[in-house]
Structures are given as structure tokens and as C-alpha cells.
A and B are shown apart, each in its own frame.
Chain A
Amino acid sequence: MAETLEKTTTKTAEPLFGKKEKKLITDPLNDNNPITVQVLGICSALAVTSLVWPSLVMAVAVIFVCAFSNLFTSLLRNYIPKEVRMIVQLVIIASLVTFVELSLKFLNYPVYKQLSVYIGLIITNCIVMGRLEAFAMANKPWRSFLDGIGNGLGYGAILVMVGLIREIFGKGSLFASSPFEWKIIGPTAEYSINTTTSTLFGWYANNNLMVLSAAAMFIIGIMIWIQRSYNKKLIDVS
């Protein structure tokens, strides 16, 4: 017991945001990405990526839930009996998600309608539960919090990238259904060099494949391909 006490006192002397902590945030962005490497949490969110704005909202929601459920679980980790830890974790996650759902309903009703059941599905998003089991149950609150943010970011980054590709090529716009909607390509595009006689990408016809759910699969498949051809150690040998 004395030994553990001593350890904690020396640990607090470490910097609040040192190299190790930085790695907790950057690691999930590439080497340990929740979607392309850990393959967790694909369930709930791919269907929202046909537009950028809902995917951004979804990413923020997941970062929030992931970070705070990690924090609370880590704070309670010494008091949770092992047999019922799943239930306790689910209750923590479900309460946070209910909070997110109600706030989104208040802040931005159209997006709330668009995301519909997928906000609720953050509860069963494996990445949240997976981080609680793998990290928060065994680490200190601050580091767990950072790990939650890092994994949420890695997840959100993929989500927003897929959303960008799908919206630009599928609808020719960016941030549709948000206050800053902007049409980039297609006959109705609006940008500074556009004149009445010439449009830069006016010839572009929207690619309807991108709006379908199958496109998200192809895009993620190709992303995994690109990532693994740069990052050879991730290649599946089996």
C-alpha cells in the first residue's frame, strides 16, 4: 500500500501534458485509428456521413461522450465491482448520450432530426465501450480523459473525411443544411471567379453513387488501402 502511495506522489510531479500524454492524442489518429485499425465503432455513424455538417456534429458528440465516460469511469474505477462493471459502464454512457441528445435537440433541431436514431446508437458504439474496458478501468482520470479525446478525434477525422468526399462529389456542396452552406462544383456553384459566362466546374453532374450507403464502404476500404500502403506494419498477414 505504501508503495502505491509513493508511486502516486511521484506521478503527480510529472508534467500535466508531457510526451506520453501527447502520444495518447496522436496515436489514435494514425497508428491506432479506431475505424481503420481497431475496427471499432463503425456501426453507428457511417450512415450520417452523406453530408459534412451532420458528420461534424456526430464527431463532436462522440468526442464528448468518449472523453467524459472515460473520465467518470476512471474516477470510479476503484469502486466498481468487477461483476457488474458492464452495467455501470453502460449506465454512464447512456446518461451522457441522453445529455447529448437533449442538448442537440435544444441547440439544432434540424440536425437532431437528421441524425435521428444514430445519436442514441453512440451507446452501443464499440469504441466508447472498448476504451472504457481497455484504458479507463486501469488508468488515472486525466490520462483517460486524454485517451477519450484522442480516440474521439481519430474517429471523427475519418467521419469528416468520408463526409467531405461524399458531399463534394455527391451533392457538389459543402456544409449543406448548416448556416454556412457553400456550393463548390456543379452548375449552381458560387465562388469568386465564377462569372455569368464561364463556370470553372459547371460541367460537373452530381454522382449519385456517393449518396448511397455503399459509397461510404468503398471510401473507407480505399482509405484503409492508402493508409496501409504507407504504414506497412498495419498490413494484415493472415
Chain B
Amino acid sequence: MGEFINVFVKAAFIENMILAYFLGMCSYLAVSKSVQTAFGLGLAVIFVLGITMPINWLIFEYLLSDTGILGMDLTFLRFLLFIAVIASMVQLVEMIVEKYSPSLYAALGIFLPLITVNCAILGGSLFMVARDYTFSQSVAFGLGGGFGWFLAIIAIAAIREKIRYSAIPAPLRGLGMAFILTGLMGMAFMSLMGIDPAVFGGAGN
């Protein structure tokens, strides 16, 4: 359990997907004009990251790696398989949510298909492979990374709503200011580097 919290905190705050690795920047900049839509997209990212990460872990471990069922090193196929898993999972999640929870579907609605090409999702899976996570760590990394992404997009959307009427130089308005704000937020998040994840127990890597 300690290890789970350890990876979660690390993924959510210390190595935030957007602020430290720039993953998912396209949708982050495009959909952060109002808090409400940012909230929907953030939820959808947590959802999809939390689901695809364990599935991709299982696929990598039991199908692609040389200790898997096929007994061959097929890791070079990981891009193709991961993106296929993500695309089909997004489709599946969309159908299930539409059937069983229309209110959630109305909230996530248009954002779910967008997520297939969100770099944070594929990036999460690739980081998971690069860092040799175990199964429980990969679940924690997926949820934590999604939560960190959610926090960052809510924060920037709130700030952008506030500064809409500020006197910013015209050429800097909109996109330019969003970049500079993201940089400032990144510096603020760096102060969280002081947290030592080892206090939660676990191996701490």
C-alpha cells in the first residue's frame, strides 16, 4: 500500500505530466478556456489513463516481452499495440459510459474521442515500460498521472478565466500568456520536489 501511495504522489505532484514532461499539451492549451470544460476533460483523462495503463502492462508483460506467452522479444511492436489498445479502449469506455451513466457521458461526451491522441495517455504507457513498473505501480502511476493532469488543467483554466479582462499586451494575449502561466505553474510545482515519497513507505524509486 505504501508503495502505491508513493508512486501516486510522485506521478501526481513531483513529476506532473504536463508541468514536468509536457505531455498532453495540445488539449491542455486548447480546452483550458473555461473551468467547466477543463473539468470534463480532466475527468476523462483520469478515467482513460487508469484503465489503459494496467491493460497495456498486461499486454507488454505477457505478449510482447521475451518471457511472455510467445517467448519472443516483440517489444518493437509496442507502439502499434499500445495505440491500438488506447483507441479501442476509448471507444469501449465511450459506449459503456453512454449506456450506464448518461449524466457522466454528457459531462465527458465530446472529450472522450479527443483523448486517443492525447500524448499523456500513450506517454504514460511508454514511461511505464521505460521504468519497469510492477502491476500495482502501473495502476498507481495511471491514476496519479491522470490526477496530476486534472489538477494542472483545472488550475490553468481558472487562471485564464481570471485574466481574461487584464491588460495584457495584445501580441501576448491568449496563447502566449498561457505558455508563460504554465511555466510559472511549473516552477510552483517544483517546490513539491521537497516531498520525500519514501515517507509513505515502499521501495521508493
Q: Inside 8 A of A123's CB, which chain B residues have their CB?
A: 79, 83, 122
A16 on interface, CB distance cutoff 8 Å? no
Task: State in angstroms the CA–CA spacing of A121 and B126 once bound together.
Answer: 8
Q: Inside 8 A of A90's CB, which chain B residues have their CB?
A: 83-84, 87
Which residue of A86, A213, A235 is within 8 Å of B22 (Cβ)?
A: A213
Task: State in angstroms the CA–CA spacing of A225 and B83 once bound together.
Answer: 35
Task: State in angstroms the CA–CA spacing of A238 and B174 once bound together.
Answer: 8
Identity of the chain B residue whose Cβ is nearest the Cβ of A236 in the assembled complex: B174
Which residues of chain A in 33-78 are interfacial with respect to chain B, using CB atoms and an 8 Å cutoff? 36, 39-47
Q: A124 and B180: CB pair below 8 A?
A: no
B25-33, B51-59, B64-72, B137-145 - the one binding chain A:
B25-33
Write the nearest CB–CB distance from A127 to chain B, whole angstroms: 9
Q: Inside 8 A of A102's CB, which chain B residues have their CB?
A: 76
Q: A224 and B179: CB pair below 8 A?
A: yes
Which residue of A43, A86, A218, A229 is within 8 Å of B183 (Cβ)?
A: A218
Which residue of B22, B117, B118, B123 is within 8 Å of A42 (Cβ)?
A: B22
Q: For chain A, what secondary structure do more than half of its interface residues adopt (helix, strand, loop), or is it mixed?
A: helix
Which residue of B118, B126, B174, B179 is within 8 Å of A217 (Cβ)?
A: B179
Identity of the chain A residue whose Cβ is nearest the Cβ of B164 in the assembled complex: A238
B184 on interface, CB distance cutoff 8 Å? yes
Task: State in angstroms the CA–CA spacing of A121 and B25 once bound together.
Answer: 12
Q: Inside 8 A of A42's CB, which chain B residues have their CB?
A: 22, 25-26, 29
B34 on interface, CB distance cutoff 8 Å? no
Which residue of B29, B117, B169, B176 is within 8 Å of A124 (Cβ)?
A: B117
B119 on interface, CB distance cutoff 8 Å? yes
Q: Inside 8 A of A104's CB, which chain B residues have their CB?
A: none
Question: Number of residues in A with C-beta < 8 Å to the partner?
Answer: 48
Question: Number of residues in B with C-beta < 8 Å to the partner?
Answer: 47
B186 on interface, CB distance cutoff 8 Å? yes
B23 on interface, CB distance cutoff 8 Å? yes
Task: State in angstroms the CA–CA spacing of A91 and B30 once bound together.
Answer: 25
Task: State in angstroms the CA–CA spacing of A36 and B21 once bound together.
Answer: 19
Write the nearest CB–CB distance from B169 to chain A, whole angstroms: 7
Which residues of chain A in 94-113 are interfacial with respect to chain B, using CB atoms and an 8 Å cutoff? 94-95, 97-98, 101-102
Which residue of B130, B170, B180 is within 8 Å of A116 (Cβ)?
A: B130
Q: A121 and B122: CB pair below 8 A?
A: yes
Q: B174 and A124: CB pair below 8 A?
A: no
Q: A43 and B176: CB pair below 8 A?
A: no
Interface centre among B19, B24, B182 (most CB of A within 10 A): B182
B104 on interface, CB distance cutoff 8 Å? no
A24 on interface, CB distance cutoff 8 Å? no
A202 on interface, CB distance cutoff 8 Å? no
A5 on interface, CB distance cutoff 8 Å? no
Which residue of B80, B178, B190 is within 8 Å of A91 (Cβ)?
A: B80
Write the nearest CB–CB distance from A128 to chain B, whole angstroms: 10
Q: A125 and B119: CB pair below 8 A?
A: yes
B159 on interface, CB distance cutoff 8 Å? no
Q: Inside 8 A of A40's CB, which chain B residues have their CB?
A: 26
Q: B174 and A225: CB pair below 8 A?
A: no
Write the nearest CB–CB distance from A216 to chain B, whole angstroms: 7
Task: State in angstroms the CA–CA spacing of A43 and B182 once bound together.
Answer: 13
Identity of the chain A residue whose Cβ is nearest the Cβ of B182 in the assembled complex: A217
Task: State in angstroms the CA–CA spacing of A120 and B127 once bound together.
Answer: 10
Q: A235 and B173: CB pair below 8 A?
A: yes
Q: Inside 8 A of B106's CB, which chain A residues have their CB?
A: none
Residues of A that sit less than 8 Å from B by CB = 36, 39-47, 86-87, 90-91, 94-95, 97-98, 101-102, 116-117, 120-121, 123-126, 129, 212-218, 220-222, 224-229, 235-236, 238
Residues of B that sit less than 8 Å from A by CB = 19-26, 29-30, 76-80, 83-84, 87, 116-123, 126-127, 130, 169-180, 182-184, 186-187, 190
Q: 25 A-B contacts, Cβ less than 8 Å apart? A: A40-B26, A42-B22, A87-B84, A90-B84, A95-B80, A98-B79, A120-B126, A121-B119, A123-B83, A123-B122, A124-B119, A126-B26, A126-B117, A212-B186, A213-B20, A213-B21, A213-B186, A214-B186, A214-B190, A224-B171, A225-B172, A225-B176, A227-B171, A235-B170, A236-B173
